[in-house]
Amino acid sequence: MGFAENLEKLHNIDRESRHLERVVTLLRWDQETYLPEDGVPERSEQLALLEGIAHQRRTSSETGRLLSELGSTPENPRGDEKLPPLEQDFLKTLRRNYDRALMLPGDFVSAAARAEGLSQAAWINARRNNDFSSFLPHLTKMIDISRKKAQYWGFENNPYDGLLDVYEQDMGADAISAVFTPLAKRLSLLIKKISSLPRPDNSFLDEDFDIENQACFSRDLLERLGFDTNRGRLDISAHPFTTTLGSDDVRITSRFLPRLLLSGIFATIHEAGHAFYEMDFPSELRGSCLADGASMGIHESQSRLWENVIGRSRSFWESSFPVLRSYFPSTLHPVKVADFYRAVNLVEPSLVRIEADELSYSLHIILRFELEKELFSGSLNPAELPAAWRKKMKEFLGLEPETDTEGVLQDVHWSMGAFGYFPSYALGNLYGLQFWEKLKSDLPQSEQMITGGNFAPIRAWLRDTIYVWGRRLAPQDLLKTVTGNTLSSEPFLAYIESKYGEIYGF
């Protein structure tokens, strides 16, 4: 059989994998949005069955055979060099996914899935009852499983490197530390400085904001950002998320609570940033494993860029605040846009990551990264986590949680064994500003565009410069290709210092 035929077969297998993944995603999306309460247990069985079928197909020997026929091996994943570059990237990505799936024995995968289910349930209870000790055996188990996973996959120095690689290819713990450690110092100092300055007034947000109106404003905002509702939707869920159910079916969720006006707005913008990335991959990648984000960190750079750099900018609220005010005329009538801008950028260290401001956010992440690193190097025992958490929290943000619920138990990630995921959030902040610098030099009028509510040129730039690559490049290669630079926190810090210096007057 010829190359062309083998390649077509492989593309078909890949396309079908994508279809199955998206069916699984629909089951999950529906569970978060519309599934009646009592339907949950049976939904888990449907999911388990579908995921079993998907795993079987992902690891079918047919895929391995076709990859080999096309010259792709673990040592030379890109396959025969006569193939066009796009096909070589395709083979490389498929090879990576295939090898990784095969490296985990089937019974290990199902045992891990079962342990994860129990661990998540235990975490929910532990968090509710502020009882870390009841979660400890599960946490220990999840760490063991992750360590084993890293061993199956292989790693450079520390098993933690093997886990990080899942979310951020080729970024080891040392490379991340080299950036995160000085970043943490600079951010801590800045926060200390700001805390000694007068606090902007945001008492006008301490009101009840009708949630129907909040939802309408969010829909209005999405329309102004150019979110295409023929290819996506906004729904409500307890925790906002973005999900891709098809090349032309990208859905986001948000949540609206009467006393948290800002929370719903920025959740919508954040998820829209993820959705734009997913919606605008180039058509030649459609349906393939290359129609995906370059990494979790790069994906997060897109959501954070829209949420913070654009969404929390003065230019953005120049045009958006009058619209927001029209939805809440009585409450927001007396508020000036300048005061609203300061309120959405209030720096106020708190204990909880998901409520953190733009400055403290990265510190919440670096704290988790450092603890994960110590856990996997063996220098920190899981039982010592609550104390270590409190110590670092004090060091980074000057706060100490009174309970583990507000401390080490606050996030779901560890209960799911998702060690190595957290750094993506802070990396996203850094990548985002590196991209933004380049965008501003290519589009010198970007600020005026935002003020005028004209987001199309910005979306086009992101599409043609970043999304166009899909998952063809590893994150660091994408960064280099787009910006010409390697990972750096300088653009982020320069942006933070200039923006907050102006707001707080230092």
- Residue numbers at the binding site for its own copies (CB under 8 A): 15-16, 19-20, 22-23, 26-27, 30, 34-39, 41-43, 45-46, 49-50, 53, 228-233, 235, 245-249, 251, 287
User: Who contacts 463 (Cβ-Cβ below 8 Å, separation ≥6)?
Assistant: 276, 280
The rounded Cα 118 to chain-centroid distance in angstroms is 25
Minimum CB distance to its own copies, residue 247 (Å): 6
- Please report how close the Cβ of residue 19 comes to its own copies at its closest, in angstroms: 5
Q: In angstroms, what is the minimal distance from the CB of 27 to its own copies?
A: 7
Taking the least distance from each CB to its own copies, the nearer of 46 and 403 is 46
Residue 271 falls in the annotated catalytic set:
yes
242-246 sheet: strands from edge to edge: 232-236, 249-254, 242-246
Q: What is the DSSP letter of 251?
A: E
- Cα separation, 114 vs 452, in Å, equals 52
We find the least distance from the C-beta atom of residue 250 to its own copies, in angstroms, to be 8
Q: Between 222 and 482, whose beta carbon lies closer to its own copies?
A: 222
DSSP SS3 for 47: helix
**Which 3 state secondary structure label does DSSP give 337?**
helix
Closer to its own copies at the Cβ: 248 or 402? Answer: 248
Identify the CA nearest to 221 among candidates 249, 262, 258, 257.
Answer: 262
- Of 168 and 249, CB closest to its own copies: 249
User: Minimum distance from CB of 21 to its own copies (Å)?
Assistant: 10
What is the CB-side half-sphere exposure of residue 288 using CA atoms within 13 A? 24
What is the SS3 assignment for 254? strand
Residue 15 or 390: which CB sits closer to its own copies? 15
Close Cβ partners of 467 (under 8 Å, ≥ 6 residues apart): 276, 277, 280, 281, 282
Q: How far is the CB of 227 from its own copies (least distance, A)?
A: 11
**Cβ proximity of 213 and 249 under 8 Å:** no
**Minimal distance, residue 25 CB to its own copies, in Å:** 10
- Compute the least distance from the CB of residue 292 to its own copies, in Å: 16
- Using CA of residue 258, residue 262, residue 265, residue 271, what is the dihedral sign? negative
Tell the residue number behind the tokens 């180039």, with chain if given: 282
DSSP string of 74-131?
SSSTT--TTS-HHHHHHHHHHHHHHHHHHHS-HHHHHHHHHHHHHHHHHHHHHHHHT-
C-beta separation of 264 from 216 below 8 A: no
Q: What is the dihedral sign for C-alpha 155, 161, 163, 164?
A: negative
| Torsion 435-440-441-443 (CA) sign | positive
Residue among 69, 87, 168, 271 flagged as catalytic: 271
- φ/ψ of 346, rounded to 5, equals -60, 130
How big is the CA angle at 378 (ends 376 and 383), to the nearest 5 degrees? 95
254 residue type, one letter: S
The residue (of 5 and 16) whose beta carbon lies closer to its own copies is 16
Q: Which is nearer to its own copies, 226 or 453 (CB)?
A: 226
Q: What gap in Å lies between CA 328 and CA 323, rounded to an integer?
A: 9
Nearer to its own copies, 22 or 78 (CB): 22
Active site residues: 271
